[in-house]
Amino acid sequence: MSTNSHSSNDLSEVKQLGMWAAISSLGYIFWLVGGMELIERIAYYGVKASAGLYAKAPVSQGGLGINLSDYGIIISVWALLQTFVPVLTGGISDRVGYKETIFVSTIIKICGYLTMAFFPSFWGFLAGAMLLAMGTGVFKPGIQGTLVLSTNRNNTSMAWGIFYQVVNIGGFLVPLVAVHMRQLSWDNVFYACATIISLNFLFLLAYKEPGKDERLERTRKVKSGELQQEALWKDALRELKKPVVIYYMLVFAGFWFLYNSLFDVLPIHIAEWVDTSVIVTSLFGPEGTSNGILQFWLGLSNDGTKVMPEGMLNLNAGMIMTTCFIVAALTAKYRITTAMFVGCLLSILAIALVGAFNAAWMIVLAIAMFSVGEMMISPKKNEFMGNIAPEGKKAMYLGFVMLPQGIGWTLEGYFGPKLYDMYASKERIAREALSEHGMNLTDIANIPQGEAFNRLVSVTGQEPQALTQALYQANNIGMAWYIIAAIGIISAVGIFIYGKWLLRMQRQQMA
């Protein structure tokens, strides 16, 4: 393959500034868009972290009371829209303006949260998720395009690392709020998120688009006929057909299948099979803690005796929030694809640990390991695409970043809950156990969704925790996670080969 096909994509690796030099080189617009992303993520994760728990919670407890297959439909549609919309809106942001698209996206997202609150049903939540997905798809390219234009090739590793760290401050804080708000009422979560995202209107008052003069001059030349501009879809398609973009999409899709299973399925797994009271007992004794501050920051139940699933998963955001800049500084010394390959391997091992053990502290170890892997791979994807994007197409290429996420997350959204339902669903296993205990199929079918295990407890007379452990030992619960890990292994092999191919292309460019 000739190098001409890559002439507009700079594949070279540039020596990065040191950590403190890179941080001091970042201007106010970088920190402003970091704040806007923080606000957006606070609102987004307030819903996303609890979506699976809300879906499977029985109607009698304020949940949707739907099965995991229906939940999978919602997640796959959500994923499809959120990750493919930026492919188009990235190019629109480059041409219309980042400020304008960020403003529109905020209005769409507010409508999404309010739809979820006003219509607590499968169709209402699906409609809200679709609006939320479209709003996020419009929001991302403008924010990330601004970041690329406000940094340079010498500080991009640190810039993306800090940006990702700031984002996860929101990812850390809001699930803790959601834990306690949903114990009062689920609609409180949605109203709070709509209020939070509205704060971005204030940030927009101080926002100044970098490169605006160049964009307006380019628009003037197009209107006057001095410059020919392709139709947006043709322009995007031509860039997508470049091998460096096509191969990127294919090899990273498996990682995003792996990644999203952690957020879509693991909270359900923890709620059903992991006795998190062990962690509280280890830290505070068998009575737990009544300290409200500790209950909030550790994501504990209102009685302080167990860690809620969102609290467990919040270790991920907490680690990224506090250490991502360190990982960014360490990985800045290595090739981007090398860092992403190692990160993928750590994530695979973490998912395998989830399948192998249901001990609470082992799940903590798995989440911590996954978090390190995520820090090595996720900020790098944006840095990589931002670096190779041709001038005037930064937001378009950062929209392309979402394509492998779209493929991986859409597939995971549909198949992840199905895999879990097939091998690990406590609801399904409890219904089978009730049949084995002599209950007829009609009576079993009449049990409301989400309440089969409680019925099994009353039928057997066993303590819930002892019964849970017995069901776990009697069923191959970990198989779903092993299959997900296997998908990640295929992706890791692809990333390794892709890295070698890029290195060869870089050497050809230099020659």
Among 122-126, 153-157, 237-241, 433-437, name the one with the lowest average pLDDT: 153-157
Rounded to the nearest 5 degrees, what angle is found at the Cα of 178, between the Cα atoms of 176 and 181?
115
CA distance 63 to 121: 9
DSSP character at residue 287: T
Phi, psi of 300 (to 5 degrees): -85, 165
For 196-213, give the secondary structure using H, E and C: HHCCHHHHHHHCCCCCHH
C-beta atoms surrounding 460 within 10 Å: 14
Among 277-291, 391-405, 464-478, name the one with the lowest average pLDDT: 391-405
Domain 232-510 in the same topology as domain 19-210: yes
> Average pLDDT, whole number, for the chain?
81
Q: Is 190's pLDDT higher than 80?
A: yes
CATH for 232-510 is 1.20.1250.20
CA distance 356 to 484: 13
Q: Is 6's pLDDT higher than 50?
A: no
Counting residues of the chain whose pLDDT is more than 70, the rounded percentage is 80
Convert the pLDDT of each residue in 18-29 to its tens digit: 556 666 667 677
Convert the pLDDT of each residue in 266-276 to its tens digit: 999 999 999 99
Q: Tell me if residue 300 falls in helix, strand or coil.
A: strand
Quick one: average pLDDT of 380-392? 66
Phi, psi of 390 (to 5 degrees): -65, 160
Phi, psi of 154 (to 5 degrees): -85, -15
Counting residues of the chain whose pLDDT is more than 90, the rounded percentage is 29
Rounded to the nearest 5 degrees, what angle is found at the Cα of 305, between the Cα atoms of 299 and 309?
40
CB-based contacts of 28: which residues, under 8 Å, 6+ apart?
Answer: none
pLDDT at 7: 43
With beta carbons less than 8 A apart as the criterion, state whether 132 and 350 touch.
no
Q: What is the maximal distance between C-alpha atoms in the chain?
A: 81
Residues constituting the chain: 511
Output the CA torsion sign for 307, 309, 310, 314.
Answer: positive
pLDDT at 350: 96
Per domain, the residue ranges of the chain are: 19-210, 232-510
Of 451, 494, 130, 473, give the one whose Cα is nearest residue 273: 473
CA distance 395 to 399: 6
Quick one: average pLDDT of 309-320? 86
Q: Tell me if residue 416 falls in helix, strand or coil.
A: helix
Domain 19-210 CATH class label = mainly alpha
Q: Is 393's pLDDT higher than 70?
A: no
With beta carbons less than 8 A apart as the criterion, state whether 396 and 234 touch.
no
With beta carbons less than 8 A apart as the criterion, state whether 137 and 82 touch.
yes
Convert the pLDDT of each residue in 58-113 to its tens digit: 888 888 888 888 988 998 899 888 877 876 666 676 677 778 888 999 999 999 99
pLDDT at 462: 92
Quick one: pLDDT band at residue 413, thresholds 50, 70, 90?
confident
Q: Is 364's pLDDT higher than 90?
A: yes
Q: Is 356's pLDDT higher than 60?
A: yes
C-beta atoms surrounding 131 within 10 Å: 20
Q: Which amino acid is at 325?
A: F
**Residue holding tokens 């704040």?**
35
Full-prediction pTM beyond 0.85?
no
CA distance 175 to 223: 48
CB-based contacts of 315: which residues, under 8 Å, 6+ apart?
Answer: 364, 367, 368, 371
Q: Is 183's pLDDT higher than 70?
A: no
C-beta atoms surrounding 356 within 10 Å: 14
Among 47-51, 195-199, 387-391, 434-438, name the one with the lowest average pLDDT: 387-391
Of 113, 105, 167, 173, give the one whose Cα is nearest residue 141: 105
Phi, psi of 269 (to 5 degrees): -60, -45
Among 138-142, 199-203, 381-385, name the one with the lowest average pLDDT: 381-385
Quick one: pLDDT band at residue 398, thresholds 50, 70, 90?
low
CB-based contacts of 306: which residues, under 8 Å, 6+ apart?
Answer: 275, 276, 277, 279, 280, 288, 300
